[in-house]
Chains A and B, each alone.
Chain A
Amino acid sequence: MLGYALRRIALAAPTLLLVSLIVFTIMRAVPGDPAEVMAGDLATPEYVAELRRRMGLDQPLPVQFVRWLGSVARGDLGTSIMTGEPVLPAMLSRLAVTAQVVVPSFLLALLIAIPAGLIAASRRNTAVDFATVTFVVAGLSVPSFWTGLLLILFFGVQLQWLPTVGFVSVTEDFTTALTYLALPVLSLLLVEMATVARMARSSTIEVLGQEYITHARAKGLPERKVIWRHALPNAVAPVLTVAGLLLGSLLGGAAVIETVFTLPGLGRFLLEGIYARDYPVVQGTLLLVALIKIGVNLAVDLLYPVFDPRVRL
């Protein structure tokens, strides 16, 4: 397993290089120039030219790419064109915010949705199953920003129980942080639960149709044991794949939720970077997003044998 992990980590380097090249090229191909955005409608050609010179945008593209890559290799992702912040620490502080919303909602979603999917599958076509499926369809159909706005209106405006804007980190003040995180976590939780529950239900239904389950039942095992000992481990593997993809995407930026709840997270950072054509921010953030996805996928792959002994890495 260690050898497999090391091979995967080694393969990440060319993947990241490819990602950086693609991102760099696409950003330059898109119309719009950070110097022009920065100067706005008050720009003079002289001022825009000066800004381009200061940003190094007057250099040929290959020179710009090699310079940027050289800085990345030294651990320097550059400085934001718009705000002058060094990109790496800015990005990591934004990731910390995103993680405070995504990780709790993700863990809660797994805790609730996997058992819910299992129970729904084991009681197919009952009221429990019908309720679960209804929730799943609703959760997947309703956009998260709409859920977020409803939660803001109900808990923030009507009841005034929770703040509607702002952010306090759990490292600053834990209990106050909970009040700021409750609504965004809940918004994400609903969508994540629906995704995971759907997968858990369908994969459990598939597993319950397998011969070894019939065999277990024929041996006289109680249904609870059949479900939890024999069906669950095998049903979890596909759920793990979906959950890994979900976690990777959300850690890479839950831009909509971050915008609705005014959280200074990675998704908003990337979005604002794209609007402003802030090349260092977009390139750095997408590199981090790629790294997160590679890391999460690797973790999922390494977890597979734990649930499914047939898998050998």
Chain B
Amino acid sequence: MRSQRVAFALAAALVVALAAAAPAFAAGALPLRIALNADIRGLEPGVNRDANTDLVIHHIVEGLVAHRADMSIGPALADSWTTSADGKTYTFKLRRGVSFHNGKPLTSAEVKWSWDRYLAPASGWACRGWFDGSASGADGGLRIEAIETPDAGTVIFRLDRPSGLFLAQLASIQCPSAVLHPASLDAQGKWREPVATGPYKLADWKRGQYVELVRHGGYVPRKEPRSGYAGARVPSIERLRFVVVPEEVAAVAALRAGSIDVVQNVAVDQIPALQKNPALRVTHQSLLGWTALLLNTRDPVLRDVRVRQALARAIDRGQAVKVNTGGYAKVNSSAVPVDSAYYTPAHRAWPPYDLQKARELLRAAGYRGAPIRIQTNRRYKNMFDNALMMQAMLQAAGVRAELEVMDWAAQLARYQAGEFQLSSFSFSARLDPAFTYANLIGDKGKRGTVQWEDAAASQLLERLMTQVDAADRKATMEQLHQRMAVQVPIIGLYNGHWAIVTRADVKDVMHWPAGTLAFWGVTRASR
């Protein structure tokens, strides 16, 4: 009896302790809490990055220029710039009154210091190859020959050749060419933390749990309205907390409970229930990211263009969009995203869904039922669902399609090496379609990720890389797509879709086709 009383007393004490502690998380000045599906990898811009890392870092750092919501290039730390007649010299005038997180003013010296560091061979910066001539892809080759600082407010970049992509590469989301203060390094020259000019600065990073940013008190926003990563970055909310919640179901439960304010990229099957909840707001966003079925054109079966055309005709892209994205995504087989300024009706050209014609093409190609394997993984649900659907559609056309399920790292390795027949894949957003073409076109012998080996396409790509005029670039992209629709080196399915779910009192979260969010300019009713 005595032991029962002790047990009861202990249980009662536990309940009281829990009840007493409950207000600790229910009240108080809360930061805006954003769910991340994985922890960030680091805080050094462009080094060891992924989408979550980019999302956090862009709140801390800024570059000279940035993409607007329409993917054009707008000013950021540079107020203006001019290009020389030969297209090889860019002169940037810096914005006045900008200060680093440590209170020091921004000058051209920090811009040059940051760039010298990025271009050093040991920098580890993922996109160094874009600027030092070391990358072999069509988007590489350019070399910055000199960076000059004639005065504190001017920076001059001298290039070895004209480039239609230089500004877009400077504004890259994945490789932010952030201007940093030397205080970002310790006395030994090792990376410490970003001391930059963005609207937020690092407050705390508890690995595996959260990253918290706090408003940069000395931040002076630009005057133009917010647009993509350009324009005014007003840090309206004092603190942002990016909370690691790996399981989507747990993230949504936390959102419903009010423990999280924003969940990005919610699965479409959850949307109807969430839309009915008055405490939540669901926002849809179409994306530049491209979901596709990769084809290995060196494969003995798939090197016959008739087989590839048959596969294209066997796949009902509209049905894939309807079933796997709830109809929210946009069908697109062109490397130029539907939301791009370069997208024209010419990019709709594609072999239509026609099972009869697909069977005829397979017969004409002498296809005798050799197995064709579709590589996929279970980590990314959309890739797996697409593979499953493609398998069924190809089987309906008489193709012996088989699934080869592996983990993501293994599939990525096969993709990098070009070791697959078909691969269910998604490309992250490239803000200029030229980057997508540069990734697709080339020589598989040199780069396993190449999908399309065609001399004429390579020439068109070369031209595209140096074109500056938008109309010229548009025309080149149309020509590229016309060839692609005939040769079918890859079967593009759709440009992606995102559902962003927030608590109803959170307003003005910036979302755009680039597939990232921004929390400057966001407001929230006080809680």
Contacts and interface: CB of A to CB of B under 8 A. Distances in A.
A160 to B, nearest CB: 6
Contacts of A94: 208
A75 interface: no
B20 interface: yes
Nearest to B260: A165
B309 to A, nearest CB: 26
A13 interface: no
B259 A41 contact: no
Contact of A264 (B14, B128, B208): B208
Nearest to B43: A84
B25 A262 contact: no
B256 interface: yes
Given A38-B48, A162-B18, A33 B413 contact: yes
Interface stretch (A45-53, A129-137, A204-212, A239-247): A45-53
A167 interface: yes
B250 A276 contact: no
A178 B13 CA distance: 12
B409 A262 contact: no
Contact of B253 (A39, A43, A156, A178): A156
A47 B379 contact: no
Nearest to B410: A31
Interface stretch (B78-86, B238-246, B481-489, B508-516): B238-246
Q: Interface size bucket, A side?
A: 35 or more
A253 to B, nearest CB: 13
B22 A166 contact: no
Given A30-B410, A156-B259, A175-B20, A84 B244 contact: no
Interface stretch (A4-12, A116-124, A267-275): A267-275
A68 interface: no
Contacts of A276: 409
B342 to A, nearest CB: 20
A276 to B, nearest CB: 7
Interface stretch (B130-138, B149-157, B300-308): B130-138
B209 A264 contact: yes
Q: Interface size bucket, B side?
A: 35 or more
Interface in B375-406: 379, 406
Contacts of B413: 31-33, 36
Contacts of B126: 39, 42, 47
Interface stretch (B34-42, B316-324, B358-366): B34-42
A157 B257 contact: yes
B293 to A, nearest CB: 15
Nearest to A45: B447
Contacts of A173: 24
Interface in A222-279: 259-262, 264, 268-269, 272, 275-277
A175 B208 contact: no
Interface string A129-153: 0000000000000000000010011
Interface in B434-449: 439, 446-449
Interface string B107-151: 000000000000000001010110000111100100000000000
B422 to A, nearest CB: 17
Contact of A40 (B35, B50, B209): B50
Contact of A83 (B18, B42, B256): B42
Contact of A84 (B35, B42, B140, B379): B42
Contacts of A83: 39, 41-42, 48, 207
Contacts of A157: 253, 256-257
Contacts of A272: 38-39
Nearest to B126: A47
Contacts of A85: 207
Interface in A156-180: 156-157, 160-167, 173, 175-176, 178-179
24 contacts: A30-B410, A31-B410, A31-B414, A41-B449, A46-B129, A46-B134, A83-B41, A83-B207, A84-B48, A85-B207, A149-B249, A156-B253, A162-B18, A162-B22, A163-B25, A164-B257, A165-B254, A166-B210, A176-B21, A176-B25, A179-B25, A260-B250, A268-B208, A275-B408
The 5 A-B residue pairs with the shortest CB-CB distance, nearest first, are A264-B208, A32-B409, A175-B21, A31-B410, A165-B254
